[in-house]
Structure 1
Amino acid sequence: MLTTIRAHQRSFILGISFLIPVLLMGGYFAYRQMAPFGSSSLLTVDLGQQYVDFFAYLRSSLLHHPSSFFYSFAKGLGGEMWGTDAYYLFSPLNLLLVFFPGRFLTSGIMLILLLRYGLAGLSFAWLLDKTGWQKGPRIWAFSTAYALNGWMIANQLNMIWLDALVILPLIIWGLLKLFYHQRPGCYIFWLAVMMIDNYYMAWMICLFSLLLFCWLLPEAANWRARGWAALRYGLSSLAAAGIAAVTLLPTIYALLQSKGTYTEQVIHSHFEYFPFKMLAKLVPGSFNFDQMPSGQPNIYIGMLLLMAAFLYFFNRQVTVWRRLVALGVTLFFLLSFCYEPLDLLWHAGQFPVWYPYRFSFLFCCWCIILAAQTLQRNFRPRYWQLALLLLITGAVFAYVSQLKLSYLNASQRWIGLGFALISISCLAIPRKDAPRLYDLLLICLVICDVATSAFTSLNNLAYVSQGEFAQYTTQLDQATKKLRQHDRGLYRVAKTFTRTKDDPFQGDFNSGDHFGSTLEPAIPNFMGAIGQPAGDGFVTYANGTQVTDALLGFKYTLAKQNWAATALPPSGYRPDWRQLPITATTANIVARHNSDSLPFAFGASSEILQLPHTTLDPVSYQSQIMQALAGRPVNKQLFQVQNFNSVQFNNVQTSKQITGTIFKKRDFLKPASIRLTFIPSTNDSYYLTVGPSVKDDATLSINNKAFAQSSNYRDTVVINLAHRQKGRPVTITFRLKKMSAWLQNVSVYQLNQRSFDASLQALKQSPLKVSHHSSSSITGTVDLKRQQSVLMTTIPAARGWHAIVDDRPAATKTVLGTFMAIPMAPGHHQVKLFYRPPFLILGLVTSLLTSGGTWLILRYQSRRRR
């Protein structure tokens, strides 16, 4: 009977540990009217610009085309997805998103986020209960502080990382069982789960487990016991990696081809900022938007627990050696927060792009563990310790008050000081006189403290409205659904409006846009070379020409039909689409068919195999690619430079040459501009090239209308100015944003329509006639003409792609540094292309063998113990 009562009490304690964070954060979200509670949403920064689209991709993949888990043509022009999924989507909680289609996806995101808050509190409460570090309702103070720690609040928008807080306490419990009882099963299992769930966070947790192991070592009886413990720890960690090999091996290879190429080659031994600046993070709510790109670690866990963690080093109930090791671990963390080599170690050799010190959740956990071992029921600090805390508190707040920080105001400092003084008073009160009242005070103090910090921090952020997301998503889904109903073939879709660069994932269509950490560098390099906005980790097909539309297989185009529709933010200007025949329409979007588009694979001249990239002019490079594929002279350009008919200088010096000139204001107080006018002499397409420096120095308008252009690009971009506008003037205006502007690579080009059509017809002779296709395989036939000896594809070359021609494996080549091509003789051929993630089979075999071997060893050890 007594055992049953205790079991019910334990379940009650754990259940409340789950509910407190859920109710606190759920209440806050409802107060902020976030969907489904109102008109706002949780979407902000990367959650709104990237992750929500990945979640939509996950849902469509699960329900409609599972092969896209391995490869997707919605990732830029095409890319592997196994390694991408391993970073973004392998959390089991994401499966709940299946029940939240389209515009309701934000409600699913909130549900999963609240579950993660609750599960983090539950997991840590379970650890405290199992270890005996805390018992009874007091656990709620520590579990809530863990679930609402500063890192969790600052990174709730980075939902892909949050499972780490749920799994970390289970790994710690497994490590304790491994060390004290020689039972490694729990540690192996949960570490393997973490590696599969998110390898990036798992790397940091592995480093932390090593620090924890060092902290436990003084407990071993002698050096022999420590050696055996170290061997068990090492072998168990390797076993966990072996079990997760099915994810790790393909992912490591994918990273080496993408994100791994940006690893720092030179490490500087210096401090990244003045270390004492971290003290400002000991104030509640010390976070805002400015802290996202660069800032200090978010480590707030409540004043009382911070003080208790500090008092651990004076706790005589803990052995001196263990306290010294704990001090070393703490100093290692603090040094990692400001010393570059250690910072890079935690981040696997790469500086984070935004969200610095992503490992600080481990320091929060570490401090709460120290606090839990300090604040025992019979703990009472000495008076000199309380005086020391009071002195340090005064010094910290005096120092912080002198700092001018955007994320701290006087109210926060006074609130923080109030919590600090109440915490010191709480520590001074003896518990024995009123234990239940004391525990209630402790619980309320910590929960109020961390909740205040959480709400203050989140109030500093702006969020996407639910209506903005829902309207855009609904309209995009309607348009792409109509296209799929009309044509179930393999093609790409271009558009002149955008919400994010991952719209193709959101709308489930193939395109040339993507933003993600695992984008292969060859894709942005190529897209930038042909005049598209691109950079490290993103590409956007917003500046296409008739040439690139045809070559890259953009068979359909989407444009705003109703320009008053503010839910469709414009991202490009394509007058050369207006004459294309309409395929489908919705209330605000018109879809058109581009009959000039080529299939994903077509017969081409072998000249493309040797074409060098010797020009930085994007239209010249487009011309060379087209002519080389068609077997025509590459020096016969498809584009000709056009002169301006008139130039008007306003408050700048005059110049006979526009491109390459630095224009300076004459009167600093007046606006300045350069107005260029040309009159098309034909109905052909005309294009403007603009260098990357222009976006920083000037704004651009066409015919006195602001031009919607991506503001983030590193190469010269190509802009469509006119089509079928013979004799009608086109005016381009550059308005200076600064004192001077460098009009880099500003030129107008005319597309020679006849030459383009001739080359296009040569390439249309031998299309790959697709009989079957999926996200990772294409099967069809092709009839190569006499002058064609290459099957050219616009599929990015990758080791995972394999070609079977006429039932025999065929060698592939990489052309233009980007695409896959297959040399073959003229004539009729059966072609099959399929993608398999490199090392997936080896990883699967390794996982199965390691899992089987580990299970047999653990079972043998269990029998021996019995």
Structure 2
Amino acid sequence: MNLVKKVLKSRPAIAFAASFLVTMLILAAFGYAPFGLKSVAGADANIQYLDLFAYLKDVLAGKNSATYTMSALLGGDEVATFAYYLMSPLNLLVVFFQKSQLPIFYDILLALKLSLSASSMAIFLKQRFPKITGKFRLFLAMSYAFCQYNIAQSCNILWLDGVYLLPLILLGIYQLVAVDKRKGFFLLTISIACSMVFNWYTGLINIIFSAIWLVVEEILYLYEGSYELKALSKRLGGYLSAVFLGLALSAFIFLPNYVSLKSGARSTFDWDLLKPDLINNPFTVIGKLGLNVMSDSTNVSLYCGSIVVIAVFALFFSEELTARFKTIMALLGLGMLLLFYWQPANFAFSLFKLVDSYWSRYSYLGIFILIFMAGIFFSQVKDKVQPLFYGTAAYLTIFIIQNWKNLTSKGVVYTVLSTVLTAGLLIFYEKAGKKGMQKVALLALAGLLLTEFVYNAKKLWATYKDDYKVAKVDEFAAYSSQQEKQIAALKRYDPGAYRVSQTSTRLKLRLNLTAAYNEGLAYNYWPIASYVSSQDPKQLKFLESVGYRSAAQRVTIVNTSVLGADSLLGVKYVLTGQALPGLEKTALPAANGKSVYRNSYALPLAFSSQNDVNNPVFTGNPFAYQEAAYSQLLGKKVTLYKRVAYKKTVQAGKVTYVLNSKDKRNPLYGNLPWSQAGDNVLEINGKVLSNYAGWLSPSVFFIPVQKRTRVTLKTKTPNAYQAQFYQLDLQKLAKASQEIQAKAIKQISFKGPRITFTAIGKKGKASYAYLEVPVKSGWKATNNGKKAEIFGYLGTFMKFKLKPGVNKIQLTYTIPKLKLGSLISGLAAFVLLLVAFWPKIRQRSRK
């Protein structure tokens, strides 16, 4: 009980509680959940993470699988998704929330991570700078919690685990170098392991930075006292051992994740970015040290409170610090700038990939350095008045000059005003002789700092409100509950194995586009769309071949029903608000404006055939590819589509195609392969359909047939498109699909990472079983208890050679390198325990 009271009264606990309270006050003040109807879950949080948390909830409840799931695109393991998005232990709190309450969960999760950032920084400051008074330690810790990075990246909450673990990693380095090598080794090892497990992306960033910080602490240690080369080599060995052991402890998730990433669509590094150039003038960063400033591709915002900025500048005006020490600090500051403005450093901390959004993904490192320098000022400078005055003047002079053209903007005005008031209060605090007056100054400082936090959060959280709307609690709850009920009703109506597609999602962006393609994961059905950072390139290529393009190798775009492709993929049901030719409306209740339509042409997910299907070549025409696929499946030439003639007219700013078709019974499709992307608008029969040839725009689109059917593309580059217009013959599709449906394998079971089915092989003839589950290295197959070889067809799915008679095929999926990674982690844990207890073991052996 005494220990609990001691912890609760400790500075880290106070920093946590204060930050959590401030976050809740900000959320309440601006109508965010859990107090209002808005959520901080904007941009990717709204598009991806809420649905991924719903998936995690199902996994924890045993309703879906993390090992293998058919809810991920066309099917696959989700080790990369877990390693990047879902491994933070705080995510386990999702079990206490309904799917309809996920925006509320997200805001509370953010509050916890901000509070942990304050707490870990308080721990670092207390041990690294014991002379700082508790009040200023709290100010600096909360400045870290509410820094620009944490607020701007609230929509990427998965990266914030790296933020709150960074101070512990760097504290471990300090202890290793200057305090207690043994304690430092353990703290560094465990912190690195946690950082890699919770989110490998920021984990690797932290490890790279830790090597730089080791040099910083060694230089400061050299400055402060004696230095022995032998001791240096021991510390370096201790550091390398801690990093290696930390990585080994995380191997159970990082090794299989690494293997998954290597086979993913974005596995190559962007080495062409490695150039010895400056991205911009590094000193422009001073003009970005203000309120309501976002980082971009050429500038970084390191704002973390005016108290920090003032202290950093004041440091260089103190006469108590030697010129040699100031030189070290100046070099540290310059090195910090080069982290962001020197292209090789930017490339390394971007983990050797092009970063085209959410800049700067590692700016919390620079913010840490600024707070570290502020910590030096408050701990080592006794006479602070004059340095505070000159430091503030120097900072404001540069800041105003760099923002001269925007001098009347609120962000600049408020920054200047807040800086002047903060400096005045700090000077007043230093000059005040009575404790009562000092308390007044401290309270005023706290209020001013709180005002900065509130204003900055309000402005930065509003950044993504246009194209990437923040989730609305009531709208999300209504959509989620309706979608859950509709999918549950569909599964009761048809408990079989099939895929489901939909033509709209919860989120509608500009010009009818969407990016919310993880609803298959969220509501536990088998989709043909997905949006995560690591995708299977074979699946993306196949989907693009049949008419569903991908964007940035991350997202498959499905906002219509291409019936020939859907049938080939085994899409038996389509959720849509539009009656489409070839689809039959079921009696199931509508939800979110979408009814359930049945596709009677859908192929079974498993079937047998005497035809040896291989991989048709995609030549840029998805309709021709579909016909080639059906032809191989049936062993004969199949023609499903009829090319539709058109008349093309080019006018200023647009190109119009008038189509020669009066057939309303068969679905008509268009595709305009482009050689140049652009912000174009696609109109069908005078109505805007969507953006085209841009981010999130589709390739193939459905065209309702009218008296005068026309397609208009508003574009500045009318000659960048090669028009393809085709009409599907439903009778021919029915004939082709019925022939394959007649060979359906009916004895089949899908249970997460295990699939079993029974197929009959013909005597005297080559026979094959086809399974519309993607080929992956983790699958192992047996046929009648003996090892069976897995082949591929259509570049994606599984094919098996059947023996004459009964073939009982069992498939088991194991995440590649999971066992090896777990073994390495287990051995690392054993080594860590052995090192921990080695002194006691030696002591007992001597007795």
TM-score normalized by the length of structure 2: 0.89
Does 2:628 match 1:624?
yes
User: Which letter does structure 2 place at the counterpart of 1:642?
Assistant: V
How is 1:586-665 mapped onto 2 (pairs within 5 angstroms)? 586=591, 588-604=593-609, 606-609=611-614, 611-633=615-637, 636-644=638-646, 658=648, 663-665=650-652
In structure 1, the residue matched to 2:817 is: 839
> Shift of residue 594 of structure 1?
2.5
Q: For 1:263-300, what per-residue CA distance to the aligned partner results, in whole angstroms no more than 9, with x for missing partners?
A: 2032222222343432332111213xxx56x4532311
> Shift of residue 313 of structure 1?
5.5
Rate the CA distance shift 1:273–1:79 in 2: closer, same or farther, 3 A: farther
In structure 1, the residue matched to 2:140 is: 142
> Shift of residue 504 of structure 1?
1.3
Rate the CA distance shift 1:295–1:271 in 2: closer, same or farther, 3 A: closer
> Shift of residue 710 of structure 1?
7.3
Identity of matched residues, %: 23
Aligned residues: 815
**SS of residue paired to 2:718:** strand
In structure 1, the residue matched to 2:172 is: 174
In structure 1, the residue matched to 2:509 is: none
Deviates most, 705-714 or 89-98: 705-714
In structure 2, the residue matched to 1:542 is: 559
In structure 1, the residue matched to 2:571 is: 554
Residues in 1 aligned to 2:839 and 2:325: alpha-carbon distance in whole angstroms? 30
Please tell me whether the aligned partners of residues 72 and 520 of structure 2 are also in contact (alpha carbons under 8 angstroms). yes
Rate the CA distance shift 1:265–1:211 in 2: closer, same or farther, 3 A: closer
How is 1:245-644 mapped onto 2 (pairs within 5 angstroms)? 245-258=251-264, 260-266=266-272, 267-287=274-294, 291=295, 294=297, 296-312=299-315, 324-376=327-379, 379-381=382-384, 383=386, 386-387=389-390, 389-402=392-405, 410-426=409-425, 428-429=427-428, 430=430, 433-434=433-434, 436-437=438-439, 439-440=442-443, 442-462=445-465, 463-499=470-506, 500-535=516-551, 536-560=553-577, 575-579=580-584, 581-583=586-588, 585-586=590-591, 588-604=593-609, 606-609=611-614, 611-633=615-637, 636-644=638-646
Does 2:253 match 1:237?
no
Q: For 1:712-761, what per-residue CA distance to the aligned partner results, in whole angstroms no more than 9, with x for missing partners?
A: 46998333335xx8xx63612315354x6347233332333444334323
Please tell me whether the aligned partners of residues 680 and 694 of structure 2 are also in contact (alpha carbons under 8 angstroms). no
Deviates most, 52-61 or 9-18: 9-18
> Shift of residue 703 of structure 1?
4.3
The RMSD of aligned alpha carbons is 3.1
> Shift of residue 580 of structure 1?
5.1
In structure 2, the residue matched to 1:653 is: none
**SS of residue paired to 1:433:** coil
- Segments of 5+ residues of structure 2 without an aligned counterpart are 507-515
Please tell me whether the aligned partners of residues 679 and 694 of structure 2 are also in contact (alpha carbons under 8 angstroms). no
> Shift of residue 619 of structure 1?
0.2
> Shift of residue 531 of structure 1?
1.1
Please tell me whether the aligned partners of residues 280 and 298 of structure 2 are also in contact (alpha carbons under 8 angstroms). no
Q: For 1:544-590, what per-residue CA distance to the aligned partner results, in whole angstroms no more than 9, with x for missing partners?
A: 43322222111222122xxxxxxxxxxxx661244355455558432
Please tell me whether the aligned partners of residues 531 and 715 of structure 1 are also in contact (alpha carbons under 8 angstroms). no
Please tell me whether the aligned partners of residues 279 and 400 of structure 1 are also in contact (alpha carbons under 8 angstroms). no
**SS of residue paired to 2:547:** coil
Does 2:793 match 1:815?
yes
1:41 to 39, 42, 45: 39
> Shift of residue 613 of structure 1?
1.1
How is 1:707-746 mapped onto 2 (pairs within 5 angstroms)? 707=689, 712=694, 717-721=699-703, 729=707, 731-734=709-712, 736-738=714-716, 741-742=718-719, 744-746=721-723
> Shift of residue 244 of structure 1?
0.8
2:154 to 153, 156, 159: 156
Please tell me whether the aligned partners of residues 609 and 769 of structure 2 are also in contact (alpha carbons under 8 angstroms). yes
Please tell me whether the aligned partners of residues 768 and 781 of structure 1 are also in contact (alpha carbons under 8 angstroms). yes
**SS of residue paired to 2:760:** strand
Does 2:781 match 1:774?
no
Rate the CA distance shift 1:228–1:32 in 2: closer, same or farther, 3 A: same
Residues in 2 aligned to 1:714 and 1:113: alpha-carbon distance in whole angstroms? 28
Q: For 1:414-464, what per-residue CA distance to the aligned partner results, in whole angstroms no more than 9, with x for missing partners?
A: 221223333444554535724543544554444444443333333444233
**SS of residue paired to 1:142:** helix
1:690 to 672, 675, 698: 672
**SS of residue paired to 1:376:** helix
Deviates most, 681-690 or 704-713: 704-713
> Shift of residue 323 of structure 1?
5.7
Deviates most, 188-197 or 174-183: 174-183
Q: For 1:353-396, what per-residue CA distance to the aligned partner results, in whole angstroms no more than 9, with x for missing partners?
A: 31122111111112112211221286224747843652342133
**SS of residue paired to 1:297:** coil
Rate the CA distance shift 1:737–1:327 in 2: closer, same or farther, 3 A: same
In structure 1, the residue matched to 2:511 is: none
**SS of residue paired to 2:271:** coil
2:660 to 649, 673, 678: 678
2:29 to 23, 28, 31: 31
> Shift of residue 679 of structure 1?
3.5
In structure 2, the residue matched to 1:90 is: 87
Does 2:126 match 1:126?
no
- Segments of 5+ residues of structure 1 without an aligned counterpart are 561-572, 648-657
User: Which letter does structure 1 place at the counterpart of 2:343?
Assistant: E
In structure 2, the residue matched to 1:566 is: none
TM-score normalized by the length of structure 1: 0.87
Deviates most, 511-520 or 28-37: 28-37
**SS of residue paired to 2:137:** helix
**SS of residue paired to 2:154:** coil
Residues in 1 aligned to 2:354 and 2:592: alpha-carbon distance in whole angstroms? 45
Rate the CA distance shift 1:694–1:788 in 2: closer, same or farther, 3 A: farther
Please tell me whether the aligned partners of residues 311 and 391 of structure 2 are also in contact (alpha carbons under 8 angstroms). no
